[in-house]
Amino acid sequence: MLSHLRAWREQGWTPIDAPAYAEAWQRFGGSVATHPQVVERLACLAGIPVRYLGWLQQGELQAALPTWGRHLALSKDVLKQQGKRGLFDLGNAEIIVPLAAVAQVPLRHKARYLSDLHAGRISTLREQTEGLALAREPEQYSKKFRYNQRREQRLLEEAGGVIRPMLELSAAEQARIYADLFQRRWGFEATGQAHLAEVFALMREFITGSLIYLNDEPVAIQVLYRVEAPQWVSLEYINGGVDPQNREFSPGSVLSFINTQSAWAEARAIGKPLRYSFGRADREYKDRWCNRVPVYQV
């Protein structure tokens, strides 16, 4: 029965190896959650092997998938099934699989938050009821909004606020600060708290953005992962933490402004569009920063 279901799911797809998948990603693009090294490192941490599949036409690879059984690799559902729930956190990351511009393929593996870039190119997609929140371009914010953000940043800095790059910190420091500020902000533990330092060490080359200190104490942090595909930059805002005692300076809002502005500047400097995802469009604050875009599931 199991092999029959797998034969149906993989119909038209061919097993490929990890280097072939990596080559497809580098040619056709993808997102943080499908990046070859992200998949390999986090799957290795979970101890769940990845089965890579390719879609060939006239012997040429046109699409590629990393899979865990009947799901795409790194699926929360599989982690839960394997007793490893919350081992790592990728939020509700936008899923872009390596797919040639002319390719038309069926996808029968379970997946959510599949990018609208795949609409009309993957035949089995169904639109999700909730959309995805993608950061607006700087010019799409009103002049008043931008003025207020700059003013808040200036007031914070005048009060002793300091902006530091995340990569100035070790993985252990990042983990400690994030766990502390997340707990303060939300009142419960961050996903995968016991493994944060290990995950941040594995993901170090993809970590980007800044954090904010006030009076030498961290007051706002965001976990951002960034990868560069041939045609675009994919950036995931996974989650964040902020000290509620410093709410009058809006450090969380200031940090969102700093991180989004910086990411747009970097992407424009290399001439690539930016897909800066805040995950599911489920909170009012995301509407201030983002456009809602359709997202799909299988």
137 and 244 housed in the same domain: yes
DSSP result, 233-253: EEEEEEEEEE-GGGGGG-HHH
Last residue of a domain, one of 70, 104, 130: 130
Query: What is the spatial distance between Cα 222 and Cα 212, in angstroms, rounded to a whole number?
Result: 10
Last residue of a domain, one of 105, 130, 155: 130
162 and 71 housed in the same domain: no
Query: What is the spatial distance between Cα 7 and Cα 178, in angstroms, rounded to a whole number?
Result: 43
Assess if residue 297 is contained within a domain.
Answer: no
Q: Is 19 left (phi over 0), alpha (psi -120 to 50) or beta?
A: alpha
Give the count of domains, the chain.
Answer: 2
146 and 211 housed in the same domain: yes
Per-residue pLDDT of the chain (298 residues; tens, 9 = 90+): 557 677 777 777 999 999 999 999 999 999 999 999 999 999 999 999 999 999 998 889 999 999 999 999 999 999 999 999 989 999 999 999 999 998 899 999 999 999 999 999 999 999 999 899 999 999 999 999 999 999 999 999 999 999 999 999 999 999 999 999 999 999 999 999 999 999 999 999 999 999 999 989 999 999 999 999 999 999 999 999 999 987 777 899 999 999 999 999 999 999 999 999 999 998 888 989 999 999 999 9
Query: What is the spatial distance between Cα 268 and Cα 266, in angstroms, rounded to a whole number?
Result: 6
Contact 83, 47 (CB under 8 A): no
Instruction: Indicate the helix (H) or strand (E) that contains 46.
Output: helix 36-46
SS3 content of the chain, % helix, strand, coil (to 5): 40, 25, 30
